Amino acid sequence: MTDPAGLSIPEAAAALREGRLTARQLTEAALARIAARNDRLHAFTQLNPLALDEADRADLLLASGDAGPFCGIPVAVKDLIDVGDLPATGGSAVLSGRIAATDAVAVARLRAQGAVILGKVATYEFAMVGPDQGLPDPPARNPWDLGHITGGSSSGSAAAVAGGLVRLALGTDTGGSIRSPAAYCGFVGLKPTYERVSRAGAFPLSPSLDHVGPLAATVEEAALALDAMTEAPALWRPASGRLGRGLAGLRIGYARDWFAQDPLASPALIRAMDDAAACLSMLGATITQVTLPDYALYEAAGSVILHAEALAEHEALIRTRLAHYGRPVLQCLAFGAAVDPEDLARARDAQARLTKATQRAMEPFDLVITATTLTPALPFSAFDGDKAVWTPMRTIPFNVTGQPVLSLPVGFDGGLPLGMQIIGRNGDEDMICAAGHGFERATDHSVQRPPV
């Protein structure tokens, strides 16, 4: 057999069920890759010392025939999401020494199916800003070029999946923290509908905007993982339910003016997105340009809500652990201190109006596509010194509206990946995953792997 760590989740699951592979062998293969690559990628910050024991328990379940679809599958977890008995620091010295008492709900749902938790992976400090060289753990590095960032804040999740250490990692997304790393590192990120996946056990950044979701090597793996993590699954259509059905008859709105008119947009990105729209058309979808509300309005409303809620979440810790915060995070929290109640009320009113306006704009369509980020990943050198660096993205609008979004590879610029977002209505994860899966199978973007 080829290296088990290179098998997709469906391939590995079939081999496990058929007895051609054991969960211990699969876990050992993943641990071997981590040992060989993590010193360069800085993805994992803490391995689970009981991972092989968990694999052995999964093998017993497999032998009994009482195994869930993720039984024996290795998973990495962002260090913003609790895993019982493992460190849970949010990537910050503020919570140094904290050990999670129990699993977060999303982790518990995967573990109930026999998934093997390999360990915790890096995050920007409290999911706010980064990369920060002054944190307890070094920032994760982009497997396509170790001199470039992965994007954040699910930075270690991105390095782990793109670097081939795991096929699945859990992340959080408050303004794009699943989708931008997926775009920068050339794989799939799925932000579900707001509250489809429980946030319990994930350290909050901004509860109104926070989402928990999967980062995975392919659309199918992301969809299957979302199904496994979904809270109250009877209330939701399975994200994997339409995979393979094709795109014939789909009406897709193309929000091209959201990025193509921006002077920061990479010319390679514009070409890649136009090629993607043409590909979807050849697959049977009808593509029509759509005008969404001004992106800056979403960003303004989302920024006010995010910073105000972040400060509220950190007030108690600031009083006792102020000196342990990194400078960039304190600057971010200071912005929250400048938001008064009237500002926050206006931002929430804007959130409601923008959500309705987005729904109206999408009425003629089944889905909307647009770019995930405007450029490929920036080099670490761009973050030298104390200057603030803005990485242009098109992600926060759908934290504001709560809609499900899939980001997947769409091409390259100078050897670094670019990403496309597919946006659906609330609960339409099955639709966006079907479209993404069809695009993925019609192109070679998702089979490209970095040199590491």
Has residue 366 been placed in a domain?
A: yes
Has residue 319 been placed in a domain?
A: no
Residue 68 pLDDT more than 90?
Answer: no
Beta carbons of 115 and 227 less than 8 angstroms apart: no
Q: Residue 165: name the closest of 76, 78, 52 by CA.
A: 76
CATH code of 268's domain: 3.90.1300.10
Beta carbons of 272 and 372 less than 8 angstroms apart: no
User: Residues near 298 by Cβ (< 8 Å), separated by ≥ 6?
Assistant: 354, 396, 397, 400, 401
The amino acid at residue 277 is A
Active site residue 78: yes
SS3 168: strand
Q: Residue 328: name the closest of 108, 43, 135 by CA.
A: 135
pLDDT band per the 50, 70, 90 thresholds, residue 1: low
Which pLDDT tens digit goes with each residue over 336-374?
A: 999 999 999 999 999 999 999 999 999 999 999 999 999
Among the listed residues 153, 155, 180, 240, the single catalytic one is 153
Has residue 377 been placed in a domain?
A: yes
pLDDT of residue 388: 62
Residue 177 pLDDT more than 90?
Answer: yes
Which pLDDT tens digit goes with each residue over 233-255?
A: 999 999 999 999 999 999 999 99
Has residue 49 been placed in a domain?
A: yes
Has residue 356 been placed in a domain?
A: yes
Has residue 238 been placed in a domain?
A: yes
Has residue 333 been placed in a domain?
A: no
Among the listed residues 154, 155, 157, 177, the single catalytic one is 177
Say how many domains are in the chain.
1
Q: Quickly count: other Cβ atoms within 10 Å of residue 156's Cβ.
A: 35
Alpha helices in 8-104 (DSSP H): 9-17, 23-41, 51-64
Among the listed residues 78, 180, 206, 303, the single catalytic one is 78
Active site residue 64: no
Token code pair at residue 262? 């921006």
pLDDT band per the 50, 70, 90 thresholds, residue 452: low
Active site residue 407: no
Cis peptide before 153 (omega within 30 of 0): yes
Domain coverage including residue 30? 11-296+342-447
Distance CA 443, CA 425 (A): 25
Has residue 110 been placed in a domain?
A: yes
Q: How many Å separate Cα 192 from the centre of its chain?
A: 10
